[in-house]
A and B are shown apart, each in its own frame.
Chain A
Amino acid sequence: MFRQVLTQQWVSLRSAVLVFVVISFAVPLLTVVYGGGLNAGDLARVAQWLDSSERIGLLIPGIALLLGVVFGLGVWAPDQVGKHVYSLALPVPRWRYALLRFGAGTVLLAAPVAALGLGSFVAAWAVTLPTGLHAYPAQLTFRFALASLVCFAMVFALASATKRVALWLLGGIGGVLLADLLLSAFGSDAEVTAKVITALVTFPGPLSILTGRWALFDV
């Protein structure tokens, strides 16, 4: 059963998987290419090297977010087009069916994650680092895997919800924005939206994994 769901999702999403594999493999290598290469003796270029590593590294959480959105929507899209009629007629409980879909999506996620890992290790191997600098291919890959998983899970959960839940969610977001507007109109500096965003992106918020340093090479 899982194998068939995985096959079905692979057929549906293989183009997206391939695109993300290529991008994920390329980004770590950009650090080497963009930085112009670095040898152990290039002590004077360390600052430039670290700067480029950090800036290029910022692409990685963006890729994780995009990956989550594309896969999260993509795994449900075929069922949603048919209003879930086919899947609801299958003799599996909905919770199990959702788990099958999520599991298959997670397996597909592994491909871009592995590609990023491979690209990171290749980039780290290609460069001779001066003392004091280190490469973090494993850490970067692990962080990317977690970030992709969180983003995928978030969009997957949203895409699996009914229209009513989606409306509730939109209503909640609208409510927060409206509260901010009203509070500021009455002279309050509560900044509800900023606080909500801060809660989401700082530990232990769900999106805290996306923040922080994403440089492949660092001190």
Chain B
Amino acid sequence: MTNAIETWDLCYRAGKTFELRDLALKVREGSIYGFLGPNGAGKTTTIKLLMGMLRPDSGQIGVLGGKVPRDMSRILAEVGYVPERPHLYPFLTVEQAINFHAAFFAGFDMPYAAELLDSFNLPREHRLSALSKGEMGKLHMLLVLAQRPRLLVLDEPTDGLDPVVRRDVLSALLDFCSQGSATVFISSHLVHELERICDWVGVLDRGRLVAELPMHAFKSGIKRIRVENPPSLIGDTPFVLVARETTTMDEIWVVRGWQPPMVQWFEGTGAHVKEIVDLDLEEGFVELLRAARVPAA
């Protein structure tokens, strides 16, 4: 399996406070990769580095088999990019904007664009300055999908959009993905939104990649366990201990990679599992971040 995106020891510093350190992303080809992180984690910066808009301080970036920035023109011909703050030319009409964009991409699918234009209900003759935020978001998605790219890079594409528009945009995205084997790299801080569409997830926090794993493992494997009489020393565990917190009577353990038979390990140490709580993606995400910032004892 090849990687659509891969970075090696990627480092970038902006100013005195922000730094991307030793970023090692691996986005498998054909996957829908959710790039999670709180505000200010460095998601947009990472995407700009992938798109060749920023120069890294060190490390390498590979996209679709090419190197950034050496093979940039070839890479960009196969990448559909929706930036965090999209800016098309406001004085163009919708139709003119589509024609302008199509001129730069040899594989632009005009019939598909027309189809999306109808399904998104976008007015052809309206200037872009007259479009609402939702319509603009849909137009951007239309442009990148009609490119028929091998890789979609979407930086918070539904940010600020109302639920109806978000649903339309994500539906179109899923529809597109189902038609071929395109790779999608989508960043967002809206965890619940990515939960529905992504099959891989990477979590970025303060410039570091704290987790990168399949979505099902992320969703199903994170548990909050109430442990009575926990062992003081912990050796090898069959699960990944993410966090450990002491309450008045018990300990609360957050673990990853949990399987039901692992209860026996607690019994082997003399501890007793009183409660196992499933965490949803958002709760799991929060726990991951918490653990990344304060390592487990």
Give me the interface of A with B, judged by CB distance under 8 Å. 1, 3-5, 7-8, 11-12, 78, 81-83, 85-86, 88-93
Contacts and interface: CB of A to CB of B under 8 A. Distances in A.
Given A8-B92, A93-B73, 11 more contacts: A4-B102, A4-B104, A5-B100, A11-B91, A12-B89, A78-B91, A85-B53, A89-B79, A90-B104, A91-B77, A93-B72
Contact of B73 (A12, A81, A82, A92): A92
Interface in B89-129: 89-92, 96, 99-100, 102-105
B214 interface: no
Nearest to A84: B53
B105 A91 contact: yes
B76 A85 contact: no
Which of B51, B74, B81, B103: most chain A CB closer than 10 A? B103
B83 A89 contact: yes
A78 B97 CA distance: 13
B196 interface: no
B99 A4 contact: yes
Given A12-B91, A89-B76, A93-B73, A7 B53 contact: no
B88 interface: yes
B73 A4 contact: no
A200 to B, nearest CB: 34
A134 B108 CA distance: 57
B221 interface: no
A92 B85 CA distance: 21
B51 A8 contact: no
B76 A91 contact: yes
B16 interface: no
B274 interface: no
Bin the interface of chain B by size: 20 to 34
- Interface secondary structure of A, over-half rule: helix
Given A88-B52, A89-B51, A91-B76, A8 B83 contact: no
Which of A12, A89, A92: most chain B CB closer than 10 A? A89
A83 B52 CA distance: 14
Contact of A7 (B72, B96, B104, B105): B96
B113 to A, nearest CB: 15
Contacts of A11: 89, 91-92, 96
B81 to A, nearest CB: 5
Nearest to B77: A91
Contacts of A93: 72-73
28 contacts: A1-B104, A4-B99, A4-B100, A4-B102, A4-B104, A8-B89, A8-B100, A11-B91, A11-B96, A78-B89, A81-B87, A85-B53, A85-B83, A85-B87, A86-B83, A86-B86, A86-B87, A86-B88, A89-B83, A90-B104, A91-B74, A91-B75, A91-B76, A91-B77, A91-B105, A92-B104, A93-B72, A93-B73
Contacts of B52: 88
Contacts of A7: 96, 99-100
A11 B103 CA distance: 16
A101 to B, nearest CB: 13
A18 B90 CA distance: 20
Contacts of B79: 89
A8 B104 contact: no
A89 B81 contact: yes
Nearest to B74: A91
Nearest to A81: B87
A90 B105 CA distance: 8
Nearest to B83: A85
